[in-house]
Structure 1
């Protein structure tokens, strides 16, 4: 029996049981979690408002400054001191920079927002269901931004005229940046 079979087999334990009212459609998939949108329906509604290029740029700039300040201060202090202590402080600066970058990916993957996106009321979500994409896909999207850069950085500008305001990395990873507030 296939989905939507007009003559279901009554002996099939997985099909609709005889004498029961129709269960509605689509009638497949996992049980829904209360408070979650039905499967196949975006969590941001049927028609999300896409974040514009300027808000995306401003969020990236805010996040970049937040990560760069402690990194730059520690690197500068390490370079100024020099020697063994300077090298240790420089190494600490590298660790802090990488740690903050990974924390940014974690927050964008689990909540859809880091400080810049939260301040501007935008969020990074999966295109399929409007949910946060997870740390792994946030990391893959970060790597996919390489594609935005290889053609004279045109991928970074693409949201300015794209219908869904997506970069090439967003298209590759099936993600959207939408207005949340």
Structure 2
């Protein structure tokens, strides 16, 4: 009778037959702990931004904002139905051209409104409210914070700050120029929304 060799078929010891037990595989668990948010900078360490740097950030933001919105607007005009019409040149002369139909104009107006609203909520509400600044502000080394504690504005206050900019702009941009003689260097919309634009 031939002796049975437990190692002949497996090439090694078998668990339960005098062999070494196989080590259990440990599953790697993903770290479910949320990332800690960046703590706000102490109020005493914040430095308010100057007029020219803020102006540069506004110009950059308008340039960055206008490119995608303008592209979407042009794309919509190309695909919407048109009809023969008359267009006018800068010198007052007219020429035959294709113009949007009345129905297309209504669709185009609604499309443009939706694009602008989405862009504003994403560009200002999220980037400025949650991330601390729009691309123009980041490129110029600025960020927007709450005046009381230096924390991010939040989407609600960022949107409110956007609409109060119209108040700063209406009387000959007096609300913007106000920061030149304001003791803290703030505009009207900064004051109304209790916000500050500071150096990052």
TM-score normalised by length of structure 2 = 0.61
Gaps of 5+ in 1: 1-32, 38-42
Report if aligned partners of 1:108, 1:114 keep a CA contact under 8 Å in 2: yes
Deviation at 1:62, TM superposition (A): 1.3
Cα distance in 2 for residues equivalent to 1:178 and 1:102: 22
Report if aligned partners of 2:58, 2:136 keep a CA contact under 8 Å in 1: yes
Cα distance in 1 for residues equivalent to 2:38 and 2:134: 24
Deviation at 1:91, TM superposition (A): 5.1
Candidates 46, 51, 54, aligned match of 2:44: 46
Aligned length in residues = 142
Deviation at 1:161, TM superposition (A): 2.9
CA deviation digits over 1:88-116, x for unaligned, max 9?
67755543332221112211111211101
Report if aligned partners of 2:190, 2:196 keep a CA contact under 8 Å in 1: yes
Structure 1 residues 47 and 78: CA distance shift in structure 2, 3 A = same
CA deviation digits over 1:39-92, x for unaligned, max 9?
xxxx244142111111111111111121211212232343355517x7467755
**Highest Rg: 1 or 2?**
2
Report if aligned partners of 2:43, 2:149 keep a CA contact under 8 Å in 1: no
- 1:23 is aligned to none
Report if aligned partners of 2:144, 2:197 keep a CA contact under 8 Å in 1: yes
Cα distance in 1 for residues equivalent to 2:111 and 2:166: 27
TM-score normalised by length of structure 1 = 0.67
Q: Secondary structure at the match of 2:196?
A: strand
The answer to whether the aligner puts 1:136 opposite 2:134 as a matched pair is: no
Structure that is richer in strand per residue: 2
Structure that is richer in helix per residue: 1
Q: CA RMSD in A?
A: 2.6
Deviation at 1:154, TM superposition (A): 0.4
